[in-house]
Chain A
């Protein structure tokens, strides 16, 4: 019976492949172009490195990122502590390593929340049109008119300082962009012939939206998501600087840089190493996103 199920699955898979042959070819071509873009490759390598570091964190360091050791506070980099110790004696290397987990967590959670909400809202608004579209778009405009850092600050101040609240604040700030993007894409896809065809065949609205329009929007949404990862991490850092953001003693990079800014003139290592880590992490996402944009831009494809 298992074999039977397996066979029918394979059959389904090959049928799916032929149905979506064009899309798969497109996808393969995109990958090919991506591999030829050195910047994207560098970005991909950087991101993979950080993801690996995040996953392997406990194996990479023997120090607990939260454990204090006051007598050794502000110790400069040495063999035992390659990144030195901070103002409470905590090992900075391990805090940077565990910090990558936090940054990735923030980024992924925010994107998961905002991208899904925003895209769905945008596609629905774009497809249904009329008064629904107007209302959704006006609300989107309202949120977009806010400078994002200030809105995030206000929400964080309202909810209190914690990692969860930071994610919520940045999520609320980010969803409008996806909504607007998705709606624009929906408007252009809506008029295309294949949609007409499917509609005349009697497909339900829900099916049209989710099986046909949404997949068309995916590439752009993915690019937007990758590009915004960097901004999300920087916004979280900015919040940490002002006094919101992740709560101590969590080793979030932005908070670490901010905490170290009173030591920047002598004990430079407290701010510098998390700063460099953040720089490369965000740069990685930006490089990949930039490369992806080139690759997937229909105007620039050969």
Chain B
């Protein structure tokens, strides 16, 4: 099978998977014996109104009809309307997705900057103290509940020391930039407001750190194990016997090949960072899709839940696909298909 066929097949599979995701979410959202309209309107709203709105939103039609409607609209690019915000969901997502992407990207950068060096250190000093220390350190990242560590760090670095700023994407007294892309960092630069740009980056430090800390572990581990494997190869021994210094051996020869599996881990982790954002966004008042979908689930805003899940699953599958393609591309030993 050649490369193009490989990619096409993977794309088709992705579509099937996404359809499955939508179906599963639909099933889950609708087996609940609960009433989204009533929840949104609150306890004081009169019953007649609830019936009327339920009819307006088509929630009293049989399930399979609702499902077919939803899929039909999806195929036309219509993600539906949110019962809660009364706006097209795609507008809600366009406003909030960029914030989560920014946070995930920053977290990934931090995770990589810490994880790879830790992995290298571990590999080069295997079974010695530096190895143990760095392994424990990175494992700490996946042993702490994010909502707890986030609050404590916030308390220490913002409340007591005031080294880092308040929760939220920018300082309370600043105004957001005019929307061009939806990414505050990009939009503020486009608008020429460097102060806002830096303010935004400062606000991102703590949540990105908290979130990135959890990814650090798997990146460090993958770097470590692939480095170890590479270091045992013959061509490394050959390089050593040529008299090259250890540092040269590690950086010039081993690292490049060891990076291949690490790159795949980075790609996979990116997708899962979207999920970790759910808890972090609540603590740090970050207006991303994590907090959006939490609200949607609590209020049973079916359309929003399904569409947002679809978006997240799509991003995750896309990351996987890109990683797989890159991997097949980079490593000549892999057969396609």
B18 (CB) vs chain A CBs: closest residue = A145
Cβ contacts B36-47/A at 8 Å (1 or 0 each): 000000000000
A140 (CB) vs chain B CBs: closest residue = B17
**Binding-face segment, B20-28, B105-113, B181-189, B205-213:** B20-28
Do A150 and B312 contact each other (CB < 8 Å), given the known contacts A158-B32, A275-B148, A297-B225? yes
**A163 CB to nearest chain B CB (Å):** 18
A243 (CB) vs chain B CBs: closest residue = B298
Contact in complex: B221, A241 (CB < 8 Å): no
A94 interfacial by beta-carbon distance below 8 Å: no
Do A150 and B293 contact each other (CB < 8 Å), given the known contacts A138-B17, A143-B24, A261-B151? yes
Contact in complex: B145, A147 (CB < 8 Å): no
Which of B135, B217, B275 contacts A148, CB < 8 Å? B275
A39 interfacial by beta-carbon distance below 8 Å: yes
- Return chain B residues, CB-CB under 8 Å to A37: 127
- Please report the C-alpha to C-alpha distance between residue A62 and residue B275 in the assembled complex, in whole angstroms: 41
A124 interfacial by beta-carbon distance below 8 Å: no
**Binding-face segment, A78-86, A110-118, A278-286:** A278-286
Contact in complex: B316, A145 (CB < 8 Å): yes
- Return chain B residues, CB-CB under 8 Å to A265: 155, 159
Do A141 and B17 contact each other (CB < 8 Å), given the known contacts A257-B147, A299-B229? yes
A230 interfacial by beta-carbon distance below 8 Å: yes
Contact in complex: B278, A149 (CB < 8 Å): yes
- Return chain A residues, CB-CB under 8 Å to B136: 39, 283, 287
Contact in complex: A237, B294 (CB < 8 Å): no
**A260 CB to nearest chain B CB (Å):** 9
- Please report the C-alpha to C-alpha distance between residue A297 and residue B221 in the assembled complex, in whole angstroms: 13
B216 interfacial by beta-carbon distance below 8 Å: no
A194 interfacial by beta-carbon distance below 8 Å: no
**B99 CB to nearest chain A CB (Å):** 16
Within 8 A of A (CB), among B265-306: 271-272, 274-276, 278-279, 282, 293-294, 297-298, 300, 305
- Please report the C-alpha to C-alpha distance between residue A147 and residue B159 in the assembled complex, in whole angstroms: 32
B228 interfacial by beta-carbon distance below 8 Å: yes
**B255 CB to nearest chain A CB (Å):** 18
Contact in complex: B142, A286 (CB < 8 Å): yes
B257 interfacial by beta-carbon distance below 8 Å: no
A52 interfacial by beta-carbon distance below 8 Å: no
- Return chain B residues, CB-CB under 8 Å to A142: 17, 20-21, 24
- Return chain B residues, CB-CB under 8 Å to A147: 271-272, 274-275, 278, 312-313, 316
- Return chain A residues, CB-CB under 8 Å to B312: 146-147, 150
A171 interfacial by beta-carbon distance below 8 Å: no
Within 8 A of B (CB), among A5-23: none
- Please report the C-alpha to C-alpha distance between residue A265 and residue B160 in the assembled complex, in whole angstroms: 11
A300 interfacial by beta-carbon distance below 8 Å: yes
Within 8 A of B (CB), among A237-261: 237-238, 241-243, 254, 257-258, 261
Which of B28, B32, B232, B294 contacts A242, CB < 8 Å? B294
Query: Which B positions have Cβ atoms within 8 angstroms of A?
Result: 13, 16-18, 20-21, 24-25, 28-29, 31-32, 127, 132, 135-136, 139-140, 142-148, 151-152, 155, 159, 217, 221, 225, 228-229, 232, 271-272, 274-276, 278-279, 282, 293-294, 297-298, 300, 305, 309, 312-313, 316-317
Query: Which A positions have Cβ atoms within 8 angstroms of B?
Result: 37-39, 138-139, 141-143, 145-150, 153-155, 157-158, 230-231, 234, 237-238, 241-243, 254, 257-258, 261, 264-265, 271, 275, 278-279, 282-283, 286-287, 290, 297, 299-300
- Which 9 A-B residue pairings sit nearest by Cβ, starting from the closest? A147-B275, A142-B20, A283-B143, A145-B313, A282-B143, A158-B32, A286-B139, A141-B17, A275-B148
5 A-B residue pairs with CB within 8 Å: A145-B316, A234-B143, A265-B155, A271-B148, A299-B229
